[in-house]
Amino acid sequence: MTPAPAPTTPEARAASAEAAVTSQFTGRLLGVPGTHLAQVSHPAPPFVGGSWNYWWQAHYLDAVVDAGLRALRAGDREGADRRARLGHRLVGTIRVRNVLRFTNHLYDDMAWLALAVDRLRLLRAALDRPGTRRLRTAERVLTTQLRSAMTDDLGGGLFWSTRRDFKNTPATGPAALHLARLGDTAAARSLVDWLYDRLLDGERGLFLDGIRLDGPARTERMVTDVYTYNQGTVLGTLVTLADATSLERATHLVAACRDHLTTAGPPGSRGRPLRTHGDGDGGLFTGILVRYLALAAQHPGLTAETRSAATTLVDDTADALWWGHGPRSDDDPRLVFSPDPVVPVAASQPPGSTVELSTQLQAWMTFEAQAALRAQPSTR
């Protein structure tokens, strides 16, 4: 089989990744017409919906919106509308698969879906489509849940789960971004300030994972892991708030990501892509950071130097992920992307292995972010 010519533009890469994900992972929930959902792995059982991961679906929705915006930028309103309708079906199917509710026991999961639903609403508005009861209900219910997790325990921040024994960046960051986008800048700033007060590693300028409350005495225990995505949601909130303090913080955070979260590029490359976190949930982490680096790269309130640094991080990561891609097998030309930008997919995902949705979404999100950098400045 002669391979097709490799796409050379970010837009073509994003379209290829979209086709790879949708062809291998998505379909009707249990075959029911009018539904749409993504499987968490491929190969998978013939009917979509057996296995379940709520927050991966939220990021799939975000990627669908990215594709709709890409189509809109290209003047393809029909393609944008098709993605908007697909996203609307996905939101409804998430509720059905989640036992007829939008909520679950993890506040970070709910924050991710709230962010994606809000972006879908804006895509529909750009297409002159009115809001729907489904989207309004999802946003209202999810926002109420997030506000309920904001307490004075540990001085502020947001709980990670309904057990209320862990406040962390994974929940506080996306919740702050969601509230900032809703216009509740006071609440968003209070969450960001708490992160800077309690979870910033001052030496590196990066955010630690969180603080647990252990045992009956609820003793504080710091969880010091550093993950790429935690930097991304804080960065997204900072450029959304866009006051002088926030933009100064964003400048330092982009530099910290450049200085501490990159790795040597593929053979022959001079670039330094962002490091990744393997598969499973970690397979999404760096794609999330790239999404918000692209917003920083387009923000007119940041210096040219900071925007250039953010752009380089996006480009180097996207180029490395594209370098490592390959066909699923000799007999299946559908593309697969490596979880690691410096390891080719033939080594990381050899033919016949199970491929996870998270890692493929990460690549798709990264290519969409790179494509968005060629668009007009945006703060969403």
pLDDT at residue 375, as a whole number: 77
pLDDT at residue 377, as a whole number: 54
**Cα(145)–Cα(150) distance, integer angstroms:** 9
pLDDT at residue 6, as a whole number: 52
Tokens 């990159």 found at: 262
- Inter-residue contact 206 to 274 (CB < 8 Å): no
Measured from the Cβ of residue 318, the count of other Cβ atoms closer than 10 Å reads 27
pLDDT at residue 44, as a whole number: 79
Residues of the chain with pLDDT under 50: 1-5
**N residues, the chain:** 380
Helix pair 228-241, 169-182: axis angle to 10 deg: 20
Q: What value, to the nearest 5°, has the Cα angle with vertex 284 and ends 7 and 225?
A: 135
**Short-list 154, 145, 137, CA closest to 109:** 145
pLDDT at residue 266, as a whole number: 93
| pTM given for the model | 0.96
